[in-house]
Structures are given as C-alpha cells and as structure tokens.
Amino acid sequence: MLGFVQNQFHWVLVAVPAVALILAVIGALIASKPFKSERFPELKAQIDSDAQALRTAS
C-alpha cells in the first residue's frame, strides 16, 4: 500500500515481512513436534498421576 501511495515499490517492503513469516512458520513446525525426553521419568510419572487425580476429582 505504501508503494502504491508513493508510486514506487521497494523490495524491502516484501522481504522484511517474508523473513518474519518464514521464521514464524519454522518456529511453529519446531513447536509442533512432540517432546521426547526421558531425562526425568519419575517426574513424568508424578505429573501423570497428578493429572489423573485431578481428572477423577472433577
């Protein structure tokens, strides 16, 4: 729109939002992968049992 108003177009008007969009897509893809870590198995078991207790209490 700015390019249309000024009757000129500059590549930065497309490049900067494109870089932000690409970074957002990459971040969403990384965040959507399941987290597989077996570092704290007893903590995971405790969280699972707490979640189950909360489900039965409500």
> Which residues fall within 8 angstroms of residue 10, CB to CB, at 6 or more apart?
3
Name the phi and psi angles at 8, rounded to 5.
-155, 160
As a whole number of angstroms, the distance between CA 56 and CA 51 comes to 9
Instruction: Tell me the per-residue pLDDT of 10-25, one tens digit each, with 9 for 90 and over.
Output: 788 889 999 999 999 9
Residues 13 and 2 sit within 8 Å (Cβ to Cβ): yes
Please state whether the predicted TM-score (pTM) of the whole model is above 0.85: no
Average pLDDT score, the chain:
88
Task: Give the model's pLDDT for residue 3.
Answer: 73
As a whole number of angstroms, the distance between CA 30 and CA 53 comes to 31
